[in-house]
Amino acid sequence: MSKKPLGVHSEAGKLHKVMVCSPGLAHLRLTPANCDELLFDDVIWVSQAKRDHFDFMTKMRERGIEVVEMHNLLEETISDPAALKWILDRKITPNSVGLG
């Protein structure tokens, strides 16, 4: 059986697997001044967003959709010393994260 490549291949087809990122600290940092720059229409009510997100993930799983959580993938990735070194060497810089 050939494995279908990752991607979206239909707007109306059956969803088999999806990666999600639960609302959290990043969303708490949204302000009216920065939300537009971060591609949000407005600040969000994070506690309600967490409840809604959990409910949505539950409903997808009930329908047989494999829900992959980004934080779990990141945790798995950085448990590999070589992968952690690659991320720290190439992606985390003072210009992209800021100091202090």
Q: What is the pLDDT of residues 57-94, one digit of tens each?
A: 999 999 999 999 999 999 999 999 999 998 888 766 66
* pLDDT for residue 95 is more than 80: no
Specify if 13 maps to a domain.
no
Separation in Å, CA 18 to CA 5, 57, 69: 14, 10, 8
- Tell me what percent of the residues of the chain surpass a pLDDT of 90: 49
Domain count, the chain: 1
Task: Report whether pLDDT(48) > 80.
Answer: yes
Q: Residue 8 falls within a domain, yes or no? A: no
Would you say residue 71 lies in a domain? yes
Look up the domain containing 28 and give its range.
Answer: 18-94
Binned at pLDDT 50, 70 and 90, residue 2 comes out as: low
88 vs 48 pLDDT, higher one: 48
Helix %, strand %, coil % of the chain (to 5): 45, 10, 50
